[in-house]
Chains A and B, each alone.
Chain A
Amino acid sequence: NAGVTQTPKFQVLKTGQSMTLQCAQDMNHNSMYWYRQDPGMGLRLIYYSASEGTTDKGEVPNGYNVSRLNKREFSLRLESAAPSQTSVYFCASSSGGIAEAFFGQGTRLTVV
């Protein structure tokens, strides 16, 4: 059972480069989320998608874009990476409403 799968697991970017973080879930969940986790800051919501075809901003959306490609996949794009975007990124999915979320294994991104 794969659950939520994120790629890549590690990435180093130079300032100004772009990249897309991929996330796929096989639990037939409606809702998907992107979080970033920084030391002492907890998990902060970047964007979420309540259902296929919809996306909404979270707490820290600046510098990011997302695409809900289909029900399974939700990607996060950094158009012009900045050192402040150095973080661990987690994708999560949920059946929706008030249900719990399940997390992928994370992507550790370093921007130099």
Chain B
Amino acid sequence: QKEVEQNSGPLSVPEGAIASLNCTYSDRVSQSFFWYRQYSGKSPELIMSIYSNGDKEDGRFTAQLNKASQYVSLLIRDSQPSDSATYLCAVNDGNNRLAFGKGNQVVVIP
């Protein structure tokens, strides 16, 4: 069974600091990788997608992909209270199957 692992527990960061989230995946043929943000009681919202090795930046968010090591990470710079949410890592195997990790809760402390 293809797995997506997000092992870190809840992450508390001071406002203005960097939040770092990690995700590993088991299927080497995975081709696309996503980070979703989910506020409590709401549906997941796409915030980043990455398809090739390296870094991709979008505003305060940076996604990093290393296919050789099978991990993808998300950095949130200058964290704001509005960033407090659960962040879900998702991996697409290229065959229309999108698998999710269990998510990491981020709490930004003012």
Q: Is A61 an interface residue (CB 8 A)?
A: no
A-contacting residues of B (Cβ < 8 Å)?
1, 31-32, 34, 42-46, 49, 51, 88, 90, 92, 94-103
Chain B hits for A99, CB < 8 A: 32, 92
Check if A98 sits within 8 Å of B43, measured CB to CB. Answer: no
Check if B31 sits within 8 Å of A42, measured CB to CB. Answer: no
Check if A105 sits within 8 Å of B43, measured CB to CB. Answer: yes
Chain B nearest CB: distance from A88 CB in Å?
A: 9
Given A48-B97, A96-B96, also A43-B32 (CB < 8 A): no
> What string of 1s and 0s marks CB contacts (under 8 Å) between A87-102 and chain B?
0001010101111111
Chain B hits for A31, CB < 8 A: 96
Chain B hits for A103, CB < 8 A: 43-45
Check if B96 sits within 8 Å of A90, measured CB to CB. Answer: no
A99 to B99, CA, bound (A): 13
Chain B hits for A90, CB < 8 A: 43-44
Contact sample, A vs B, 12 pairs, CB 8 Å cutoff: A33-B98, A45-B97, A45-B98, A48-B97, A92-B98, A98-B51, A102-B46, A103-B43, A103-B44, A103-B45, A105-B42, A106-B42
